[in-house]
Structure 1
Amino acid sequence: MVDAAPPSEGAPLLGGRTIDADALFAQAIPIRGSATAAIDLARRIGSQLPRPGSGRTLDLWRALAALSAADLTAGRVVEAHTDALSILDQAGLPIPADRTWGVFAAEASGVRLDATVAAGGFRLTGTKPWCSLAGHLDSALVTAHTDGGHRRLFSLDLRDAGVTVQRDSWFAAGLREVESGPVHFDDVAAEPVGADEWYLDRPGFSWGGAGVAACWYGGAVGVARALLSSARRREPDQIAQSHIGAVDIALGSARRALEAAAQAIDSGHLDREKSSVLAERVRTTVADAAEAVLTRVGHALGPAPLAFDEIHARRVADLTIYLRQHHAERDEAALGRAVVAADAEGEPPW
């Protein structure tokens, strides 16, 4: 999926209907963990990337993987921006030009965001957790609770006077500039995107989650290349060869899972339930592979690159926190429930 060879002279960012992964990789290298630079990149290329389910899902994921292999801040920011554009497109809404977007849909105990109907439309009041880069973006798609216990998606202007970003809560060593703390909304005007529960019920909800896995894969490739570079500098012994073989197997499994998932999404035959199962499978497969890469590379290379190689140390820290978007055993349990339910309906999964 990812080819990080040096780009040819004058290569376009996106070559027609073919993703130029080399050019994307080169665009992301200078970002070096800068959220500002990543946001600028997202603004420039977001509208050029294909949408999931458009017949070019693998091209989209190849692009996200290439960006993430170069710099995970770049992949993380571009993925969120393009996810928002895809959601707007799926809702049949126009996409404002030259605006940067986030998607804030997380929930947490003790905080709640409510939407109420007022003269002229909807107003949002409350607190939303895990709002990445809210203090730097123009716009966001945000889920809020409506009457009747439903959730609904809304678009809003993050520069509204009623939006207050809490900036003193982000202490992460990885993705340091992708601040993802809570945001407080005080009677903020918002436009509905779809009906109640539309955001969660559409097949595209799971497709976006699988797209995140493409970033994890790219980040793991970036970490793994440190192991290959070490092997080129010094002949690897049998233990190092074992680590390289295990990394190759893990990344190969992740790549094949992403390729198969992209093909299934583009087939047009997946409903919400099947999309959800597919996404859980690919996310877990890729997350397990990425964690195996982190472990194997760490065992093979020891502490030196973590202490003295800025780029490698940042990649490891970035990938470690990014992978925690996967809920590990809880997501496996959710997949298990879905598998059992499918089998009960006469659709054995294996």
Structure 2
Amino acid sequence: MPELGGPTSAPALLRPHDPAPPLLDAARLGVAAHRGLDVEALLTWTTDTADLLPLPGTGSTAALWSALASVAAADVGAARVLEPHLDALAVLAQAPTPVDLGAVGAGGSSTWGVFAAEGPGVRLEAHEVDGGWRLTGTKPWCSLAGTLSHALVTAWVSDDERRLFAVGLRADDVLPAAGPWVSRGLAQVVSAPVTFDDAPAVPVGPPGWYLRRPGFAWGGIGVAACWWGGAVGLARALWDALGAREADQLALAHLGAVDVALTAARACLVEAADQVDAGIDGKPSAVLARRVRTVVAGAVEEVQRRCAHALGPGPLTADEAFARRVADLGVYVRQHHAERDEAALGRDLLAAGVAPW
């Protein structure tokens, strides 16, 4: 059964022989747990924490994902801020040519987001002007754009191709919207449009590279590790509640089902970490990411359902930390697109022409 101790328990994805990264020190997790609603403090913690963690695909992917899961088990909002910052650093490290980050004022203390979503009625375009690049247009779903210092942003460089750019977010020609953002979950992680008005930017990789690079799929699995950690946090609340009373057969059944769901998802994440460290790339990596994200999202929804049935309305109405975790995780896991992602996985499996089982 996955570790169901307190929020500073050992990382749940690590195998017995794996070294634990320094992040998983109780004091550092305490910072994450208690600053989840203080975005400025959380961003400072994020830049400090990033220095302690490995990059994906470098032999310690399980340790990286364990760290993300452990943070999410303590505070889902903290993991939601940490994960894209780490993803941006991984993208920059993978760039095939050096990126002139100084041109956009980025450095070791920069806080990063990754904005790659597209939306109806808006479009962000990049144009080369006098040997440099400028961004003009609107980008939707830009999380914490009003607070972060920098972002990696995809922009159209032709009618059918996008390119990744690094851009500063605190200039007058970058206008983050304050909303709409009425979410009860992840309320502090405002995700709203940003308008760029001829903003200077520097390219990161050639056109199309961002979506084709090996780490694109790897990063998507790292997000799933956060979902899994958030579900572990719910499971710990269930464990504590049942330990404080005489559990009946129904409560025991819910606990058993939670264990099965978390253990199955954990096994998928551990196997995926091994494949990432082995360098999985191309279409196989896309299939792997869709499969693992779907397994983990299903486990999260099962844990949410079982905890709701076993615990009733009490913790949702009287336990602020539990209620916030439920709301935060409910919003976060919707980065998985449910049946649409299942359909995409089925399409890719048929296209491969070989059954995987």
Q: Same fold (TM over 0.5)?
A: yes
Give the superposition deviation at 1:2.
6.1
Query: Residue 67 of structure 2 aligns with which residue?
Result: 63
Counterpart in 1 of 2:20? 18
Aligned to 1:271: 281
Confirm or deny: 8 A CA contact 1:32 1:311 kept in the other structure.
no
The amino acid of 1:240's aligned partner reads A
Give the superposition deviation at 1:348: 2.4
Task: Tell me if the contact between 1:35 and 1:73 (Cα under 8 Å) persists in the aligned partners.
Answer: no
Query: Given residue 320 of structure 2, which amino acid in structure 1 is its aligned partner?
Result: E
The alignment status of 1:203 with 2:214, answered yes or no, reads yes
Q: Which moved more, 1:89-98 or 1:173-182?
A: 89-98
The yes-or-no answer on 1:330 pairing with 2:330 is: no
Q: What amino acid does structure 1 have at the position aligned with 2:243?
A: R
Q: Distance in 1 between matches of 2:7 and 2:172?
A: 45
CA distance in structure 2 between the aligned counterparts of 1:204 and 1:210, rounded to whole angstroms? 10
Match of 1:173 among 165, 180, 184: 184
* Kept after mapping to 1: 8 A contact 2:4/2:235: no
Deviation of 1:5 after TM superposition, in Å, equals: 4.9
Map of 1:82 onto structure 2: 86
Q: CA contact under 8 A between 1:67 and 1:75: conserved in structure 2? A: yes
Aligned to 2:15: none
Shift of residue 18, structure 1, vs aligned partner: 3.0
**Partners of 2:253 and 2:90 in 1: CA distance:** 41
Which residue of structure 2 aligns with residue 248 of structure 1? Answer: 259
Asked whether the 8 Å contact 1:51–1:60 carries over to 2, the reply is: yes
In the alignment, which residue of structure 2 is the partner of 1:134? 145
Are the equivalent residues in 1 in contact too, given 2:142–2:193 (CA < 8 A)? yes
Q: Which residue of 2 aligns with 1:220?
A: 231
Aligned amino acid, residue 262 of structure 1: A
TM-score, structure 1 as length reference: 0.93
C-alpha RMSD of matched pairs (Å): 1.7
Q: Aligned with 1:51: secondary structure?
A: coil
Percent of residue pairs bearing the same amino acid type: 53
Q: Which amino acid aligns with 1:39?
A: L
Of 160, 164, 178 in structure 1, the residue corresponding to residue 175 of structure 2 is: 164
What SS does the aligned partner of 2:137 have? strand
Specify whether residues 184 and 315 from structure 1 end up closer, same or farther in structure 2 by C-alpha distance, changes over 3 A only.
Answer: same
Q: Secondary structure in 2 aligned to 1:288?
A: helix
Q: Which of 107, 120, 127 is equivalent to 1:116? A: 127
SS at match of 2:289: helix
- Find the aligned partners of 2:246 and 2:5 in 1 and give their Cα distance: 23
Task: Provide the C-alpha distance between the structure 1 equivalents of 2:262 and 2:42, rounded to a whole number of angstroms.
Answer: 25
Structure 1 unpaired stretches of 5+:
9-15
CA distance in 1, matches of 2:81, 2:69: 12
| CA shift for structure 1 position 27 | 2.9
2:122–2:140 contact (8 Å) kept in structure 1: yes
Q: Which residue of 2 aligns with 1:183?
A: 194
Q: Deviation per CA, 1:129-170, whole angstroms, max 9, x where unpaired?
A: 000000101100000000242100000110121100110311
Alignment partners' CA distance in 1, 2:36 and 2:165: 32
Distance across 2 between alignment mates of 1:22 and 1:239: 36
Residues 77, 297 of structure 1: alpha-carbon distance in 2 compared, 3 angstrom cutoff? same
> Who is 2:14 aligned against?
none
Letter in 2 for 1:316: V
Residue 321 of structure 2 corresponds to 311
Q: Which range moves more in the overlay, 115-124 or 245-254? A: 115-124
Q: Per-residue deviation at 1:226? A: 1.1
Match of 1:293 in 2: 303
Structure 2 unaligned segments of length 5 or more: list them.
Answer: 10-17, 102-106
Aligned to 2:356: 349
In structure 2, the residue matched to 1:235 is 246
Residue of structure 1 equivalent to 2:268: 257
Q: Pick from 282, 305, 312: which aligns with 1:302?
A: 312
In the TM superposition, residue 32 of structure 1 has moved relative to its aligned partner by 3.7
Contact 1:52 1:265 in 2 (8 A): yes
